[in-house]
């Protein structure tokens, strides 16, 4: 049996949960502190990832899995939950409350989260 590899075929790599966390939080942090260097941020965020609760890590893992699927549809709700935790921390809503809040968001705000998801998919 001969296996032929096409050197021109680009192997797809999808971001893992940490890389998605880093990308999303970088977007938030860059708005607050535009002069921060990405290298310094990467070092800091690596330490913060260790303190992220498993419930939130699972959201990022779900995002990673969705992004790796061939026909994934943009999931603004997962982005909304992830960013809600990052910005609220103590007052972070559980999944049920987050779902209710998501349903009440105006469509332009939902579009914001969906666009963030699509940026990750590129």
Q: How far is CA 49 from CA 11, 58, 66, in A?
A: 27, 12, 20
Could you read off the pLDDT of 7-45 as tens digits, one per residue?
666 556 678 899 888 888 888 788 778 888 888 888 888
Most confident of the following: 54-58, 70-74, 77-81: 54-58
Place of tokens 């007052």: 91
Q: What's the confidence (pLDDT) of residue 35? A: 87
* 38: its two tokens: 């990405």
Name which residue leads in pLDDT, 8 or 77. Answer: 77
Q: What gap in Å lies between CA 114 and CA 17, rounded to an integer?
A: 18
Average pLDDT score over residue span 108-118: 83
Provide the residue ranges of all domains of the chain, joining segments of one domain with +: 17-121
Residue 43's alpha-carbon distances to 20, 58, 97, 101, in angstroms, are: 15, 22, 33, 33
């Amino acid at each position: 049996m001969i296996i032929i590899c096409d050197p021109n075929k680009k192997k797809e790599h999808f971001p893992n949960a940490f890389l998605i966390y880093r990308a999303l939080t970088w977007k938030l942090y860059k708005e607050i502190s535009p002069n921060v260097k990405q290298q310094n941020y990467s070092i800091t965020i690596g330490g913060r990832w260790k303190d992220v609760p498993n419930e939130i890590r699972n959201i990022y893992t779900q995002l990673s899995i969705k992004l790796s699927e061939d026909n994934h549809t943009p999931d603004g709700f997962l982005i909304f939950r992830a960013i809600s935790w990052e910005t609220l921390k103590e007052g972070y809503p559980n999944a049920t409350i987050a779902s209710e809040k998501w349903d009440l968001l105006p469509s332009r705000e939902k579009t914001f989260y969906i666009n963030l998801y699509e940026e990750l998919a590129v």
